[in-house]
C-alpha cells in the first residue's frame, strides 16, 4: 500500500470525514452552489492537515470562516429559522468544525452532529430509499464510534462490522414497538415557515406559454391512485387541479368565480378511487374529471376543484368518486358568463376568425367543430420546444405565424377563440393519464403528465370538456406522452428509455415505495387507533395506547437485555488460573504481595525468604504452575496436583 494512503486509512479523522460526507450528501440537493464548493474546499483542506500539521487553520481564520458561512446561509434563506436554513447552517458548520478537530473529543462531537444531520434528512424526504440510506449512515456511525473508542485495542474492521450489526439488530425490536405503539398526535409537532420550506416543482397557480412543457423533463411523482373497479381508459384519466378564468393576453389565472350550485345528472355509475398525494407544498387536490363525492374533511368547489387549507408538507390520502358520463342541467349565471367571455382585446386577427365561425354556425357545437378542424387541418405542430411568443398579441402570433406549441398553447388559443365567438370557456390545469403497475393495480402520475385542456359551456349540457391537443396529437390522449413525442430529438431521457425489463424494475421499485407510503408514512393517529383496536379487539383511548406503549417497551427492553446477556461471550477463567489467583491471595493475606513486574520464579524466591518452613510446598506450586502455563502442559493429572497443592497450603502472617 502507498504510505500516504496507509496513513490516511489509519488516521481516526478519516472515518469521521467519510461519515460526515455520507450523511451530508442528500443536502447537496438543497444547499446553494457556493456552500457546496466551500464544503469541498474544507474537506480537501482537512485531508491536507492529516499529512501536514502546519496547515492547521488559525483561530482568527476560523472566526472569519464562521462569519462568512453564516452570511451565505442568511443570504440564501433570508433567515436562520425554518427547515432549509437550519439544516443548511448545521451542515456547513459541521464541516467547519471538522477542519479544526484534532482530538478524540472533537471526533465524538462530530459523530453526534452527524446523527443530527441524519435526522434532518427526513425533514426533506421520508421515502423508503431515504430511510434505507440513513440506516446505512447509522451503520457507518456505529463503526466510526467504535474506531474512535477502540483505537488502542486495534480491533479489526470485521469485528467492528459485526459489533455494529449486532447493536442495530438489538435495537430493532425497540424501534418497531416505538413505531407501532408510540401515541400519534394529530397535527404537526412544530410549525415551519413555508417560505423556508423546500419548494417542489409542478403546476403553479397560473399558466402561460412554455410553462407546462418544462414539466415534461421531470419524472417526479405527484400522486398515486387506486380504483375500486376497472381502471378507466387513458383518454378518461383527466385529473383536474384548478380552473383558470382570467386572461391578460399572456397569462391565465384563477379567480373567485362564485358559481351557483351545480346539478349533476349521472348517465353511468361513477368511478370510485383513492388518491395518495406526495408532499408537494401545494394546496390543491387531484380529482378525476367531474368529482361527485369526496372524503370527509374536504369540500368540492363549484368549479369541481378542491383545496387544502394549508400547503401539503407530508403525504396525505383521500377517497373520491367521479363521473365520466354526465350532463349539467342548471343555467349559467350571468356574472359567470361575463367572466367566461372576458378578453383583453389584443388579438384582433383571432377575434375576426372566431366571429366568422360564429356567423356561419348554427350551434355552439358547430363553432367547436370548426375550431378543432382548424387545428387538425392547418400546419400546427405539437412540440416540446416551440418558438417564443414575443408580441403582445401572442394568440395571433401562435395561430397565424409560429403554429408550434405544447398543450398550454392550444388550450389558451382555443379558449380565446371560443370567447371571441361568444362561447363561455375556461382552462383546466392538471394531469392526463397514469402509469399502471400490474404488481399492485395502482396508477402513478408524475410531473411529465402535466396537461391543460378546456371546458366550454353548452346549453342543456353544462360545462363540457374539450381538449384541442386531441386534434393535433391524438396519441397524447389515447396513449401517453411518449407516443405523442417519440420522434422529437429533445425528448427527456426518462421518456426515451422504454425497455420491458427496465419497466418491470421500475414497477417493482414503485411497488416497494407505495407499500412504504401506505404502511409507514400513512400510519397516522387514525390508522394507529384502527390497527391497535383490531389487535386488542376493543376501543382504545390515547391513554390506553400510551399504556400499551410503556408495557411493550419495558417488555422489549427486558428481552433485549436477556438476549444480550445470553449471547455475549464471557471470558471464562480456567481452573489453573483460578487456583493460582487463590495462591496469590493467600500470600497477600500473609503479608507478601506479588508485584506486577514480578515473575513466578522471582516471587518464589521472596516467598522462600519470608516463609522458609514452607519452601518445599511453595516451590512445588510454582514449578507446577510454570509447567502448566509456560511449558503448555496439557496433563490433567498435573493440573489436579497443582490445584490440590494450593488447597493444602497453609500460610500465615508473621
State whether 488 and 612 are in the same domain.
no
Single residue among 470, 496, 522 that ends a domain in this structure = 496
Contact present, 303 and 257 (Cβ < 8 Å):
yes
Which CA distances in Å does 190 have to 185, 311, 390?
12, 15, 46
Q: How is residue 245 written as a grid cell?
A: 378564468
For the ranges 251-260, 408-417, 458-467, which has the lowest average pLDDT?
251-260
- Tell me the per-residue pLDDT of 191-230, one tens digit each, with 9 for 90 and over: 444 443 444 557 888 898 888 888 888 888 999 999 998 8
DSSP conformation letters of 352-391 = HHHHHHHHT-SSHHHHHHHHHHHHHHTT-EE-SSPPP--S
- Tell me the per-residue pLDDT of 7-31, one tens digit each, with 9 for 90 and over: 555 566 788 889 999 999 999 888 8
**Stretch 564-582: mean pLDDT, rounded?**
74
Burial (CB < 10 A; 0-12, 13-18, 19+), residue 357, is: buried
Q: Is residue 303 part of a domain?
A: yes
Q: Is residue 192 part of a domain?
A: no
Write out the residue range of the structural domain in which residue 37 sits. Answer: 3-155
The residue that leads in pLDDT, 375 or 84, is 375
State whether 142 and 226 are in the same domain.
no
Alpha helices in 435-573 (DSSP H): 469-472, 474-478, 481-485, 493-496, 500-516, 525-536, 542-567
DSSP conformation letters of 613-649 = GGHHHHHHHHHHHHHHHTS----HHHHHHHHHHHHH-
Residue-level pLDDT at 452: 95
% of the chain surpassing 90 pLDDT: 30
Number of domains in the chain: 3
State whether 75 and 15 are in the same domain.
yes
Length of the chain: 654
State whether 600 and 490 are in the same domain.
no
Q: Is residue 292 part of a domain?
A: yes
Q: Is residue 334 part of a domain?
A: yes
Which CA distances in Å does 302 have to 243, 257, 258, 519?
11, 9, 8, 34
Q: Is residue 177 part of a domain?
A: no
State whether 328 and 477 are in the same domain.
yes
Q: Is residue 21 part of a domain?
A: yes
- Taken in order 192, 195, 199, 201, the sign of the CA dihedral is positive
- Tell me the per-residue pLDDT of 295-347, one tens digit each, with 9 for 90 and over: 888 888 888 999 888 888 778 889 999 998 888 877 888 888 999 999 998 89
State whether 106 and 210 are in the same domain.
no
Q: Is residue 289 part of a domain?
A: yes
Predicted model pTM: 0.72
Q: How is residue 221 written as a grid cell?
A: 411523482
Single residue among 96, 129, 155 that ends a domain in this structure = 155
Single residue among 128, 155, 182 that ends a domain in this structure = 155
Amino acid at each position: 500500500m502507498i504510505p500516504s494512503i496507509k496513513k490516511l486509512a489509519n488516521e481516526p479523522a478519516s472515518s469521521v470525514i467519510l461519515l460526515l460526507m455520507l450523511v451530508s450528501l442528500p443536502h447537496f440537493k438543497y444547499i446553494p452552489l457556493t456552500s457546496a464548493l466551500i464544503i469541498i474546499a474544507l474537506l480537501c483542506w482537512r485531508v491536507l492537515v492529516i499529512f501536514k500539521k502546519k496547515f492547521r487553520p488559525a483561530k482568527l481564520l476560523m472566526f472569519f470562516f464562521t462569519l462568512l458561512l453564516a452570511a451565505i446561509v442568511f443570504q440564501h434563506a433570508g433567515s436562520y429559522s425554518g427547515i432549509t436554513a437550519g439544516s443548511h447552517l448545521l451542515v456547513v458548520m459541521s464541516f467547519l468544525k471538522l477542519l479544526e478537530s484534532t482530538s478524540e473529543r472533537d471526533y465524538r462531537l462530530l459523530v453526534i452532529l452527524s446523527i443530527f444531520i441524519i435526522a434532518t434528512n427526513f425533514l426533506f424526504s421520508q421515502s423508503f430509499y431515504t430511510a434505507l440510506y440513513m440506516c446505512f449512515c447509522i451503520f457507518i456511525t456505529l463503526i466510526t464510534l467504535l474506531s474512535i473508542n477502540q483505537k488502542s485495542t486495534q480491533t479489526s474492521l470485521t469485528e467492528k462490522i459485526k459489533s455494529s450489526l449486532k447493536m442495530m439488530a438489538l435495537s430493532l425490536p425497540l424501534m418497531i414497538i416505538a413505531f407501532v405503539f408510540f401515541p400519534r398526535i394529530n397535527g404537526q409537532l412544530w410549525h415551519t415557515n413555508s417560505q423556508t420550506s423546500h419548494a417542489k416543482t409542478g403546476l403553479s397557480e397560473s399558466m402561460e406559454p412554455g410553462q407546462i412543457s418544462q414539466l415534461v423533463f421531470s419524472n417526479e411523482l405527484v400522486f398515486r391512485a387506486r380504483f375500486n373497479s376497472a381502471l378507466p381508459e387513458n383518454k378518461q384519466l383527466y385529473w383536474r387541479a384548478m380552473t383558470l378564468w382570467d386572461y391578460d393576453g399572456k397569462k391565465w389565472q384563477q379567480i373567485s368565480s362564485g358559481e351557483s350550485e351545480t346539478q349533476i345528472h349521472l348517465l353511468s355509475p361513477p368511478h370510485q378511487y383513492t388518491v395518495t398525494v406526495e408532499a408537494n407544498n401545494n394546496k390543491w387536490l387531484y380529482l378525476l374529471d367531474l368529482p361527485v363525492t369526496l372524503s370527509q374533511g374536504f369540500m368540492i368547489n363549484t368549479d369541481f376543484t378542491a383545496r387544502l387549507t394549508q400547503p401539503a408538507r407530508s403525504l396525505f390520502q383521500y377517497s373520491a368518486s367521479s363521473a365520466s358520463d354526465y350532463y349539467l342541467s342548471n343555467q349559467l349565471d350571468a356574472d359567470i358568463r361575463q367572466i367566461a367571455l372576458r378578453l383583453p382585446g389584443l388579438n384582433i386577427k383571432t377575434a375576426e376568425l372566431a366571429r366568422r365561425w360564429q356567423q356561419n354556425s348554427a350551434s355552439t357545437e358547430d363553432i367547436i367543430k370548426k375550431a378543432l378542424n382548424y387545428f387538425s387541418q392547418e400546419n400546427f405542430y405539437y412540440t416540446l420546444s416551440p418558438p417564443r411568443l414575443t408580441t403582445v398579441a401572442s394568440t395571433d402570433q401562435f395561430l397565424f405565424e409560429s403554429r408550434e406549441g405544447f398543450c398550454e398553447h392550444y388550450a389558451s388559443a382555443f379558449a380565446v377563440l371560443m370567447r371571441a365567438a361568444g362561447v363561455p370557456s375556461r382552462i383546466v390545469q392538471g394531469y392526463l393519464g397514469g402509469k399502471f403497475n400490474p404488481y399492485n393495480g395502482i396508477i402513478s402520475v408524475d410531473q411529465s403528465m402535466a396537461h391543460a385542456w378546456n371546458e366550454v359551456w353548452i346549453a342543456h349540457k353544462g360545462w363540457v370538456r374539450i381538449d384541442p391537443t386531441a386534434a393535433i396529437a391524438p396519441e397524447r390522449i389515447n396513449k401517453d406522452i411518449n407516443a405523442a413525442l417519440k420522434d422529437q430529438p429533445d425528448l427527456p431521457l426518462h421518456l426515451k428509455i422504454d425497455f420491458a425489463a427496465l419497466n418491470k424494475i421500475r414497477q417493482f421499485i414503485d411497488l416497494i415505495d407505495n407499500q412504504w407510503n401506505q404502511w409507514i408514512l400513512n400510519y397516522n393517529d387514525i390508522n394507529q387507533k384502527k390497527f391497535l383496536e383490531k389487535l386488542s379487539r376493543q376501543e382504545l383511548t390515547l391513554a390506553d395506547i400510551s399504556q400499551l406503549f410503556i408495557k411493550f417497551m419495558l417488555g422489549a427492553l427486558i428481552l433485549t437485555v436477556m438476549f444480550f446477556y445470553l449471547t455475549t461471550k464471557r471470558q471464562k477463567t480456567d481452573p489453573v488460573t483460578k487456583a493460582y489467583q487463590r495462591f496469590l491471595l493467600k500470600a497477600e493475606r500473609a503479608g507478601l504481595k506479588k508485584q506486577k513486574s514480578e515473575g513466578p520464579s522471582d516471587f518464589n524466591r521472596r516467598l522462600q525468604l519470608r516463609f522458609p518452613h514452607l519452601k518445599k510446598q511453595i516451590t512445588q506450586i510454582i514449578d507446577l504452575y510454570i509447567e502448566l502455563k509456560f511449558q503448555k502442559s496439557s496433563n490433567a493429572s498435573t493440573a489436579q496436583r497443582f490445584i490440590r497443592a494450593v488447597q493444602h497450603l497453609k500460610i500465615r502472617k508473621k
